[in-house]
Amino acid sequence: MNPIEPLLTVKNLNKSYGSTQACNNISFNLYPSQVLGIVGESGSGKSTLLKAIAGVLPVETGQITYLNRQGKCLDFQQISESYRRQLMRTEWGFVQQNPRDGLRMNITAGANIGERLMDVGVRNYGKIRQEVAYWLEQVEIDSRWMDELPITFSGGMQQRLQIARVLVTKPRLILMDEPTGGLDVSVQARLLDLLRSLVRNLHLSVILVTHDIGVVRLLAHRLFVMKNGKIVECGLTDQVLDDPQHPYTQQLVSATLIP
């Protein structure tokens, strides 16, 4: 039997801004259906790492390889920009912290989801409406909102709409940057429950960046702790959080225990 191959491999990734080394020699594998949480204080390099993986930021050195739907291993430094963009529309998804960055606010909720389907070649209007209604239902938005502008939605609804927009093309890998940041605590809890069931039911592979230990405890199978651009601790989420070895992780965990 062949061992399971990683979906994504990051090797010795480095990224600096001037003299600030935001990502310092980062290496890891992400396996299919796995949720990898990345935690760390503000400025530890989490968002830079996510953007570098997504190809939004150029990296200085290092290698990112991805096993595509056809089972081909792609070196991200070698693929064309247009193919990278195509992958981002089809096999990958990016859920931004601020849903306004991930949505188009001047077109309807239905069009926000539908245009992603059109991007991948779906042309039948009836089929698009049907898919839009399905994905709105998946993220607990009543389909009567389909023809409304997202600007009229609450923050929690906008975030759920962004998630529906990402999921409609059935991506295999989702990058999430603080998906529950900026939301009220009760809205956060509902969104987390929703994300947890979507991740399980759709067997998604996810890289989840957050500063919130509660979020990773609920969603992530594995956890990295970042400090000053480096991974200082990694392991199974419960193991890392229940028995932190690095003083920085101990500090992060104990800070969340203070009521």
Give the footprint of ligand ATP on this chain (CB under 6 A). 17, 20, 22, 40, 42-48, 211
Which C-beta is closer to ligand ATP: that of 20 or that of 130?
20
- What is the maximum alpha-carbon separation in the chain? 57
Q: What is the DSSP letter of 183?
A: S
Least Å distance, CB 233 to ligand ATP, is 15
Token digits of residue 206? 């996810």
| Nearest CA-CA partner of 166 in 197, 190, 198 | 198
Least Å distance, CB 220 to ligand ATP, is 16
Which C-beta is closer to ligand ATP: that of 49 or that of 111?
49
Q: Which amino acid belongs to residue 108?
A: T
* Helix, strand, coil percent content, the chain, rounded in steps of 5: 40, 25, 35
Which C-beta is closer to ligand ATP: that of 17 or that of 125?
17
Sheet architecture: strand order including 73-75: 20-30, 8-17, 61-67, 73-75
3-state secondary structure of 235: strand
Least Å distance, CB 12 to ligand ATP, is 18
Which C-beta is closer to ligand ATP: that of 128 or that of 207?
207
Least Å distance, CB 50 to ligand ATP, is 8
